[in-house]
A and B are shown apart, each in its own frame.
Chain A
Amino acid sequence: MSWMDIVSLLRIALHAMVPITLTAVGEIVGQTAGLFNIGLEGILLISAFAGALAAEAGGPWLGFLVGAGVGIMIGLTFGVMATYWKGTQMVIGTGINLFAMGLVAFGLIQLGAPGFHAVPREVQLAKWRTPMGAMSPMILVALVAPFIVHWFIKRTRAGLMLKATGETPEAADVAGINVNMTRLLAATFGGMLAGVAGAYMSIAWIGSVTKDLSAGRGFIALATVVFSGLNPLLALLGGFIFGFFQGLAEWVKTLPSKPIPFQFVSMLPYIVTLLVVSGVIGRVRFPKAQGEPYKRE
């Protein structure tokens, strides 16, 4: 393994880190407020598809805008159903995932090519030339976002309100915090970050949309949240670990000698996710009121 190999491996790992970290950071905000969204996978899929369409219509930034907008819409739907309508969060998330799988497969057929849609290179987000090779600017966003969210949750009044709605919504309600609105905003923010992550996958990284573009990344992001114990900085680390093994799998696949069949290499990120999560699980503590719609007595 030469120096160049290590650099290219790191580059792939950093690119693979972006969607997982962004999604996980958004989900940390939601889980801090007491929401458990397993529909992240669906948000990634739909926003990747919508972002790709928008990028083809008006350039990569419009693509990101539309991706974030779609994420906000789905996050808002999840939030309204999980708070005001007292819906069951696990069921809503499942519904979002099913809906997304159907909608994206349906949309791909409408575009003419069943199962695959390539995003033209001109409308993809340009990469920066660095000494390490071409890097997407979104890597910077993924590196900065956890710090901002960490500062927000730990150091601001609004962050404390967020935590209160997740821990003891009754007390938060007595203190004059609008529990449902706080949760709704948290879900919307989480949806937005997942939407950006989805758009990144189609228009800045992979460059195509397929039925299984998200490939379990929404759930790997959930695993990252568990790994991080709701600390956004650890989510950055977790995202890098999972990204690294995805990068490793991609890198092994490109080796000319093909030491292992690629089906086994493709399992690697999922196996590592399982191992990491089962290694850290004991010390993690989640908000007390997580998963429960708040009802005023």
Chain B
Amino acid sequence: MTENPVRESRLLRGVHRTVTGLHPALESLVAAIVGLLIGALLMYIWGFDPWKAYWALLRGAYGGSYEWASSLARGTPLILTALTFAICVRAGMFNIGAEGQTMIGAMAAVCVALFAAPTGLHLVIGLVFAAVAGALWSVVPAVLRVTRGVSEVISTIMFNWIGRWLALYLAIYVIVDPMRAEKTLTVPVTARFPILVRGTDLSASIFVAVGVALLVYFLLWHTTMGYEVRAAGLNPTAARYGGIRNKRTMIISFLLGGAAAGLAGATMAMGLPPSYAIFGGGGLPELTNLGFDGMAVAMVGRNHPIGILMAAVFFGGLNAGGRVMQFYGSNPVPLEMIRVVMGAIVLALAIPELIRLFPAIKRQGERLFAVLRRRRETRSKEGEA
């Protein structure tokens, strides 16, 4: 056996710890606040007004029903890519391949434009295409991991780049719109997700995302297979002694994650008005970074499907609000600031004792305050004397 499960599990132990922290929700909240504060500091340094920007972001994200719909629409694919990451963390792996799997899934979903089918069935075919394509794109890293022990950190990143170039090739040469070379074929009306709120881009694809999240919750916490996946993730050696086939659980979680990421691509191709197509011309702008943002969502959501749903509302809001923020005021803050904030949030999450740092700071402050007070008292006594 070439793989070294002990080393891999050690690398992931901390990721688990962030999962099973003392007050997981509180830690996520503190990390989010710290991340937003770091973002504000950077905005201030670059000469922006952070409070105005955040006010615009907040109103753009949750200011009304239109804003809520748009935030949920942005969060929909993030739920699915976050599940990809979370399932594999639960299984003891660090799968960062959602990016490539999403792109391949989106291309597979666009392929429904090549044939006709009745409404509804057409949509289901597209979803199946995307899920299967995403799962297929995760087969090689999974097999390399269980047979050769190749770290999935490396193999999935390589597959992200290969997938990106393959998707670009498909979008530019194979399933390209003959009228407009910069985008793919348009998904026909029969295969589109219906719009839920008129005038917004919130479509029924959110039900797919929430459904998959609930399914993953059920699979991981209420079935034997899920128990085995989580046991193998927590301690591979013990799980093996317990009769769990680690390689099987690894491949299952990889395929499940790949299917979720493929579905994320489908929601982008089949559920995002007004284009219902993928733009290959600009280098797949809508699909880029969905996988990486999903990792941030998964970590803030503590790699738990229910936590991910809540985190996706937050990150979807950041994305939707960021789109408002970048046009607000005389000196608008570019949308890219949002990803800086995401990075800062993830960095803050990495520190397990972040919450415990605050009491320490408070203690130091109290000590300092006490010293100052004592000095003032002695000085006033000296004055009396």
Contacts and interface: CB of A to CB of B under 8 A. Distances in A.
Interface of A: 36, 38, 42, 81, 85-92, 94-103, 105-106, 109-110, 215-216, 219, 222-223, 226, 261, 263-264, 266-267, 270-271, 273-274, 277-278, 281-282, 286, 290-293
| A-B complex: 4 closest residue pairs judged by Cβ atoms | A99-B343, A88-B14, A102-B339, A98-B343
A291 B340 contact: no
A282 B2 CA distance: 5
A274 B144 contact: yes
B169 interface: yes
Contacts of B58: none
Nearest to B7: A286
A270 to B, nearest CB: 4
30 contacts: A87-B351, A88-B15, A88-B17, A91-B299, A91-B346, A94-B296, A95-B349, A95-B350, A97-B292, A98-B295, A98-B343, A99-B346, A100-B343, A102-B336, A103-B42, A219-B153, A219-B158, A263-B166, A263-B168, A267-B162, A270-B162, A273-B158, A274-B155, A274-B158, A278-B148, A286-B7, A290-B7, A291-B10, A292-B13, A293-B14
Interface in B326-357: 334, 336-353, 357
A94 B15 CA distance: 11
A293 B353 CA distance: 13
Interface of B: 2, 4, 7, 10-15, 17-18, 42, 46, 94, 96, 140, 144, 148-151, 153-155, 157-162, 165-166, 168-169, 172-173, 289, 292-293, 295-296, 299, 334, 336-353, 357
B18 A88 contact: yes
B159 to A, nearest CB: 8
A270 B141 CA distance: 13
Given A267-B166, A290-B7, A102 B340 contact: yes
Given A105-B339, A270-B158, A286-B7, A89 B349 contact: no
A222 B11 CA distance: 15
B342 A96 contact: no
A292 B350 contact: no
Contact of B347 (A96, A274, A293): A96
Given A36-B11, A102-B341, A291-B11, A109 B351 contact: no
B351 A38 contact: no
B267 to A, nearest CB: 22
